[in-house]
């Protein structure tokens, strides 16, 4: 697998431009910025899982995970998680959801950077990830 | 090429600090954040290609490409493109320019993350890229 | 060292969530977003090195360096440095501190991207880094 391969889980909405939801080449897997969109429904615009940080964060994790798995990886292989929030006041709640989600991790957790940026209206969180496979 | 090599295309303005426009080590190539500056003119301050998103985006792509090529890579090798915009309302137009620019890509497109940040006055877009060579 | 290993220098405060300050797997080392917190004091909340950009930048560099060294790497191995500032007006001063700090570097400097984002109150800079070891 030294060729660059696009990772496009069937559950995902089509990217809004000529990029891939994830790519793998050799043992490197990069997940594109994911947001809390529900699984794609043909003919329907992408829809966030809900208005709350919790709903969007859990859906975003699910979307990242689907891409990792499409590429033969899992959270265990993830080296870096970039979290983009829109509001500094969401940090504590995001961390609580994060810890809950990763409670069962048995390997070293990924490194992480969290910064506060602008996102399209209605979106509260965006996450991308870099994985290195065995 | 297991040594770390700086990639400094002759067209590029000198970095404003002690960093490289790009570096390659082994099969990993990292392009630093590029903006829409025109090719460097000795004795002249860096000048954006123009005030519009289109001008700056195309020039930024050209600047990223020059660094990739200096390191023996091409867009085909790019795994991740990070796009920093200053205005959520620029997303659709950036995507249109992006699709046009990458229309002829014959391999899996890179993953991408787009977020909205502050940039120095006059700059509307910044892009960096991670490539993995064969 | 093909296993993923967490890098947790003894000087560092515990991460506020289930992530690692750094991870290494094979020859890839990722440093999580570091800020200008002083070395951890048990029972005390994380404390920035001071209110100024200079104090926080130098402490942030020290924090990144400690993680690199914990993983058997040094600044020489760093491919990419991401600098997050909160104020465009800090760019020139950060560059001056950056150049001073890296004055003795004998290899190609890392690539770099600087963008302006929101950070938690009191923090002026955050830095993460990607290293590729020999």
Question: Which chain C residues have a beta carbon less than 8 Å from that of B46?
Answer: none
Pair A2, A24: CB distance under 8 Å: no
What's the rounded Cα separation, in Å, for the pair B35 and B120? 10
Q: Answer yes or no: are the C-beta atoms of A124 and A49 closer than 8 Å.
A: no
Ordered by start, the domain boundaries in chain C are 5-132
- Kindly report, residue by residue over A89-120, the tens digit of the pLDDT: 999 999 999 999 999 999 999 999 999 999 99
The whole-number pLDDT of residue C120 equals 97
Structure tokens at A52: 């709350």
Rounded Cα–Cα distance for residues C33 and C21 (Å): 8
Average pLDDT over residues A31-51: 94
If one counts every other C-beta atom within 10 angstroms of the C-beta of residue B56, the result is 24
Interface probe for A, chosen from C1, C3, C4 (most Cβ of A below 10 Å), is C4
- How far, in Å, are A101, B95, B99, B107, C49 from residue B58 at the CA level? 40, 12, 12, 20, 41
Structure tokens at B104: 């002829």
Q: Which of C81, C108, C116 is closest, CB to CB, to B119?
A: C116
Contact A77 C118 (CB under 8 A): no
User: What kind of fold does domain C5-132 have according to CATH?
Assistant: 60s Ribosomal Protein L30; Chain: A; (3.30.1330)
pLDDT of B13 higher than 90: no
Paired tokens of A34: 């994911």
Q: Kindly provide the residue ranges of all beta strands, DSSP E only, lying in B14-124, ordered along the sequence.
A: 22-25, 28-34, 78-85, 111-116
- Which pLDDT tens digit goes with each residue over B64-87? 999 999 999 999 999 999 999 999
Which one of C7, C22, C25 makes the best mutation probe of the A interface by having the most chain A beta carbons within 10 Å? C25
Say yes or no for a CB contact (<8 Å) between B30 and C80: yes
Helix count (H) and strand count (E) of chain C? 2, 6
Residue A1 in tokens: 């697998």
- Position A1 pLDDT exceeds 60: no
Instruction: Find, in chain A, the residue whose alpha carbon is nearest to that of B119.
Output: A117
**Residue B54 and residue B10 in contact, taking contact as beta carbons nearer than 8 Å:** no
């Amino acid at each position: 697998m030294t060729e660059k391969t696009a990772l496009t889980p069937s559950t995902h909405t089509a990217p809004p431009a000529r990029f891939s939801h994830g790519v793998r080449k050799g043992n490197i897997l990069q997940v594109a910025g994911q947001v809390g969109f529900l699984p794609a429904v043909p003919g329907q615009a992408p829809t966030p899982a809900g208005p709350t940080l919790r709903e969007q964060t859990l859906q975003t994790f699910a979307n990242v995970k689907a891409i990792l798995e499409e590429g033969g990886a899992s959270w265990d292989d993830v080296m870096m998680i970039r979290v983009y929030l829109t509001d500094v006041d969401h940090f504590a709640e995001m961390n609580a959801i994060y810890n809950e989600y990763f409670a069962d991790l048995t390997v070293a957790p990924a490194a992480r950077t969290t910064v506060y940026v602008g996102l399209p209206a209605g979106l509260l969180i965006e996450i991308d990830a870099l994985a290195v496979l065995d």
